[in-house]
Amino acid sequence: MIVSPEEIRLRLPHIELAAQAYGPADGSPVIALHGWLDNAATFARLAPKLQGLRIIAVDFAGHGYSQHRPPGGGYALWDYVHDVLLVAEQLGWPRFSLLGHSLGAIVSVLLAATFPERVRRLALIDGLIPPTVEADAAVATLAEALRGRLTLATKRKPVYPSLERAAQVRQRGVGHVSFAAAQLLAQRGLMPVAGGLTWRTDSRLTLATPLRLTAAQAQAFVSALSCPATLVLAEHGLLVQRDGLDTLLAQAAINIERLPGGHHLHLDDEQGAQLVADCFNPFLSAP
């Protein structure tokens, strides 16, 4: 079931973000955060199935209808965390739950760990910690990122003749989404240009990350979680492919729900969305 959410704008001190609102105004507050290169439409199937919640699904900076960071800026994880805190301030929500998919789940974990007094519950979909590197790889990681920045001006975004063609390309991208899911993401993620359509996303989002957490640092954030947390693991998702996942989860106080489907199981089809909703409805509505 796909409904038409309310489109809202969130004017933060440093940037304006777009968002979609679902549910009753007096529902339990939830901020929903999407994955890398996706947008708020990733919750189009799931959000209508979550009951009694006021869900604000945000387009991260540089994604969807949100503004891009200013010239010279970047897209570090902690900048997203800061954005979400300011979104909560603007909404007047001293405490709220977080619903995050992939990158959105990672940002949710960082926020919940560092500001435990703000986060009531943590609902995660196929995401937990960012890719990590050990300390001796930091030099090469930074060098790769800076080389990418130097050549960014010469790169051009692809142009597609139709939304359907763009959706076909997105279908084969990160997470291998269904064509129906790719269409939903493309409808919010494309803009008209000469010759057709191209992605709204900021080209800087495709650059390598200049500084990554070590595995020990990532573990510290997971270990610091104090709110109730449920993680949906997709049987054919990206998270199950991570080395050391079982060890990490064994040391974390996180409820694990293993479901069939891929990385975008909450968006690929109605059945997958319902399975995720069945996990999160009792969890997010609990006192």
190 belongs to a structural domain: no
**What local confidence, expressed as pLDDT, does residue 174 receive?**
75
Q: Answer whether 267's CB lies under 8 Å from 37's CB.
A: no
Catalytic residue among 28, 102, 108, 178: 102
Residue 1, pLDDT score: 66
Q: What torsion, rounded to 10 degrees, do the Cα atoms 27, 28, 31, 35 define? A: -90
**Is 145 a residue whose pLDDT tops 90?**
yes
φ/ψ (deg, to 5) at 134: -85, 165
Q: Has residue 156 been placed in a domain?
A: no
Task: Give the number of C-alpha atoms closer than 13 A to the C-alpha of residue 157, restricted to the C-beta side.
Answer: 21
Per-residue tokens: 262: 């891929």
Residue 151 lies in a domain: no
Residue 110 lies in a domain: yes
Asked if the structure places residue 254 within a domain, the reply is: yes
Q: Which long-range contacts (CB under 8 A, 24 or more apart) does 38-42 make?
A: 38/63, 38/101, 38/102, 38/185, 38/189, 39/63, 39/64, 39/65, 39/185, 39/188, 39/189, 40/64, 40/188, 41/184, 41/185, 41/187, 41/188, 41/189, 42/101, 42/184, 42/185, 42/264, 42/266, 42/267
Query: Is residue 147 one of the residues assigned to a domain?
Result: no
- Domain holding 107: CATH number? 3.40.50.1820
Instruction: Say if 189 falls within a structural domain.
Output: no
Site of tokens 């990418």? 148
Averaged pLDDT for residues 173-201? 94
The model carries a pTM of 0.96
Count the domains in the chain: 1
Percent pLDDT > 90 in the chain is 88
- The residue type found at 58 is V
- What domain range includes position 229? 6-131+213-285
223 is catalytic: no
